[in-house]
Structure formats: structure tokens, C-alpha cells
Amino acid sequence: MPSPSPSPVLVVDALGVHIGIELGGLDDADRNAVRAAWTGALADENAEPRATVTPTASLGPGPMLAALSSAVTLSAINERRGDLWMLHAAGVAGSDGAVVVLVGPSGAGKTTAIRHLAARAGYVSDETIALDATGAVLPYRKPLSVITDGVAHKVQHSPVDLGLGELPTAPLRLARIVLLDRRSEPTPARLLPVPTSEAIAELAGQSSALAQLPGAVRTMAGLIAQTGGVVRAEYAEAEDLAMLVRGLSDAGAPTTVPSVVTPPATRRAPEDTAGPRYERTETVDWSPLPDGTLAVLTANADGSGILRVLAGVAPALWEAADGVSRDALVADVDARFDCPDPGLVTDTTLASLVDAGLLRVAG
């Protein structure tokens, strides 16, 4: 007897990788529903999947599609781990390829905003945006996951069925990052600049697999600087947000490509033999920021990361702590800062850095 034909697999493009959706366990109606939902992300006909996910037919059509959307997203994130800066964000592209990225947790209004914006622009994604170190954007034109009254799961809508814009032929490049701040009460819509030290901490909290990305902090800081800084959108209605974002889109993408900056070599404090010695613990990446603060990314045992922004005398102490003594660090703080009690300031800050796991007592 001839061997059975292989199960049909629908291949979609997600964050620049091909993910297969196994259709063999679905009936015709569910197969058609999957194909219809993913029409905006179909890969080329001969594309080979790097990974494959299987829909759970027993959930029922609607919940199955919602769970499938999450499964494809997680699979793509796992495949791009260590390659790209991946943000929990939505994005729209202008005709020149300039992409405005809207960052926020679930419920911040990303999908609602994208439905308004992408009616007149290119739909990039409603959930995950991936960037390389140069600012190139990799699209993920998944079904839009829409919260619907009376429905427990998020209803999946194809961007094609919603009439959202196709991607431009121009290469996609990051133009601006917007942090969403949706207000429940009526409020005038406005864009506010966000200090890099504040923005980078918020963006880290909305990033996936950041600790696995080489040069993560430098990539983030470089792209923020290259695109004119992060802004926060305060708004109540999606229509108002759409007007704000269209103004950013009209500015276009930056014309220069950021380079990944290597942090300066850490500075060693003057040698001194008295007192305990301090040294830095292992970090994933770090970078000085424009306001004199220092962003440091460390990894947890489970592979997740924590980004901390150091201020005051903490950046100087962290950089200088290369196996040098407490007294040498006090002398360094006294020489560089106007502190009424440099010993107290140094001891308090060193204790905080040790508690945070950024320094350790070497002896």
C-alpha cells in the first residue's frame, strides 16, 4: 500500500522566520478558518518551516484560533532568541518604510490603535515587533487579537478582512518608539518626551529574551538615540492616538544607521590596601546613558534578565569596583563628587549594589 501523504502544513512568516501550522488534525471548517485568519502572514509557497505548531482542535474554533496565535508567536520568539530585540508592541509603516512602534502591556490599546492607524498605513503587527541592531524591522502580520464583549477569548481577525494596509515595498526601518499610556477618563491626547533612563527600563520590561541578545543594552540605547528618543502617548480614545502617531509617521525613518557602541573600559579606583574589596559580578551588557546614569543588564538562573538603571554615585562605584578596597572607593567618590559625607554615601551605595547582585565583596 502507498504510504499516507504527509499532513498539510500552512507556513507563515513571523519575525523573519517560517513557522509551520500543522493542519492534519483539523476538519475542513477549522482548516479554512486557520487559513483565513493567517492570510496576512503567508510565506512563499515553497518555504520550509523552521518550527511547527499544532492547533488544539478540541478547544473549539474560536479558542483554537486564539491559542494558535499565541503558539505561533511564542515559537517565533523562541526561534529568534539571541538574534533580535523583540518588543511586546504593535507597529505601522509609512510608504517610505518608516515604522512607528507602539509599546505597552496587554490592555494598553495596541490592537485598537492599529485598527485605526493601519487603515491608512501598512500593518506590521499588533503584538510583537522585532528589530535588529541597525533598526531594521521584521514584520509579523498575524491575525489581530480583538477583545470582544461577551466572548472569553480574543477573536482573531485577518488584517486582510479588516482592510488594513499592505507593507510598503521600501525596507522597514524604525522611526520612533511610543510608550502607550491609555487613560480611563477623558484627557487631552499628547506626546511627552521620556528620559532615556526611564524609557530603557520600561522597554526592558516589555521585551522578550533580552538577556540572550548580545549587546542588548547598547542596541536599545543606540536605537533610542538614533530615532530622536522615546515619547509617551497619553490618550483616552484610539482616534486621538491615531492622530498623534500619524504626525510621527510623517517624519519618516532616520537616514543614518546606528552603530553598536562599545562601552568605555571600566575605570579602576586608586589602589588602596585598607578595608574590604569590591568587584563587579557578571553582567550581560551595560551602557552609559545621556543623563549620566548607567544601564546594567544581568541574567537570572532561569534565563530571564533584569535591567537596572544606576544613578548618583552608583555608576562611578560600579565602574571602579575592580577588586579595589572600600577606602579607595571612598577616596574616589570624595574626589569626584560634592558629598558632605563621602564615606556614608559610598557605604550606603555599595550596600545597595551588593544587595542588587551587581557587586560582591571580594575579601
pLDDT digits (tens, 9 = 90+) for 265-283: 455 545 555 578 999 999 9
What are the grid coordinates assigned to 300, written together?
537570572
CB 16: neighbour CB atoms within 10 A?
17
Q: Which of 98, 70, 63 is nearest to 14 (CA)?
A: 70
Q: Which of 104, 287, 319, 108 is nearest to 197 (CA)?
A: 287
Q: What is the pLDDT of residue 64?
A: 98
Within a domain: 257: no
Within a domain: 27: yes
More confident residue, 188 or 230: 230
Cα angle 10, 14, 19 (rounded to 5 degrees) comes to: 40
Please indicate, yes or no, whether residues 148 and 51 belong to a single structural domain of this protein.
no
Please indicate, yes or no, whether residues 150 and 191 belong to a single structural domain of this protein.
yes
Q: What is the pLDDT of residue 45?
A: 86
Amino acid at 327: D
Q: Do the strands 173-182 and 322-325 form a parallel or antiparallel pair, or are they unpaired?
A: unpaired
Which residues lie across from 101 on neighbouring strands?
91, 177
Please state the rounded mean pLDDT for residues 186-208: 95
CB 252: neighbour CB atoms within 10 A?
15
pLDDT digits (tens, 9 = 90+) for 241-254: 888 887 776 655 45
d(CA 154, CA 235): 23
pLDDT digits (tens, 9 = 90+) for 324-346: 999 999 999 999 999 899 999 99
Q: Which of 84, 74, 77 is nearest to 137 (CA)?
A: 84
Within a domain: 261: no
Please indicate, yes or no, whether residues 147 and 246 belong to a single structural domain of this protein.
yes
Q: What is the pLDDT of residue 327?
A: 93
Domain containing 21 equals 9-78
pLDDT digits (tens, 9 = 90+) for 10-63: 999 999 999 999 999 999 999 999 999 999 999 998 899 999 999 999 999 999
Judge whether residue 78 has pLDDT over 70: yes
Q: What is the pLDDT of residue 250?
A: 60
> Taking a C-beta distance cutoff of 8 angstroms, is the pair 118, 159 a contact?
yes
Q: What is the pLDDT of residue 303?
A: 80
| Coil/strand/helix, residue 53 | strand
| Coil/strand/helix, residue 225 | helix
Within a domain: 270: no
Please indicate, yes or no, whether residues 58 and 95 belong to a single structural domain of this protein.
no
Q: Do the strands 51-53 and 144-146 form a parallel or antiparallel pair, or are they unpaired?
A: unpaired
What's the whole-number average pLDDT of the chain?
Answer: 90
| Coil/strand/helix, residue 74 | helix
Please state the rounded mean pLDDT for residues 189-198: 95
pLDDT digits (tens, 9 = 90+) for 114-169: 999 999 999 999 999 999 999 999 999 999 999 898 999 999 999 999 999 999 99
Within a domain: 4: no
Please indicate, yes or no, whether residues 14 and 123 belong to a single structural domain of this protein.
no
Please indicate, yes or no, whether residues 169 and 292 belong to a single structural domain of this protein.
no
More confident residue, 257 or 306: 306
Please state the rounded mean pLDDT for residues 185-193: 90
What total number of domains does the chain contain? 3
Please indicate, yes or no, whether residues 304 and 181 belong to a single structural domain of this protein.
no
- Go through 178-207 and write b for each residue having 16 or more CB atoms within 10 A of its CB, e for each that does not: bbbbbeeeeeebebeebebbbbbebbbebb
What are the grid coordinates assigned to 217, written together?
543594552
Q: Which of 62, 78, 94 is the last residue of a domain?
A: 78
H helical segments located in 261-341: 314-320, 326-336
Q: What is the pLDDT of residue 260?
A: 43
Please indicate, yes or no, whether residues 243 and 103 belong to a single structural domain of this protein.
yes
- Whole-model pTM: value is 0.89
pLDDT digits (tens, 9 = 90+) for 282-316: 999 999 999 999 999 999 888 889 999 999 999 99
What are the grid coordinates assigned to 146, written together?
480583538
Cα angle 343, 347, 348 (rounded to 5 degrees) comes to: 115
Please indicate, yes or no, whether residues 70 and 185 belong to a single structural domain of this protein.
no
Give the strand order in the sheet containing 322-325: 322-325, 277-280, 359-361
Please indicate, yes or no, whether residues 108 and 35 belong to a single structural domain of this protein.
no
d(CA 28, CA 174): 40
Q: What is the pLDDT of residue 333?
A: 95
Within a domain: 299: yes
> Taking a C-beta distance cutoff of 8 angstroms, is the pair 264, 211 a contact?
no
Q: What are phi and psi of 280, to 5 degrees?
A: -70, 145
> Taking a C-beta distance cutoff of 8 angstroms, is the pair 224, 196 a contact?
yes
> Which CATH number covers residue 296?
3.90.930
Please provide the DSSP assignment of 253-269 as one string: --SSPPPPPPPPPPPPP
> Which CATH number covers residue 109?
3.40.50
d(CA 110, CA 145): 10
Please indicate, yes or no, whether residues 238 and 329 belong to a single structural domain of this protein.
no
Residue percentage of the chain with pLDDT more than 70: 90
Within a domain: 3: no
Within a domain: 259: no
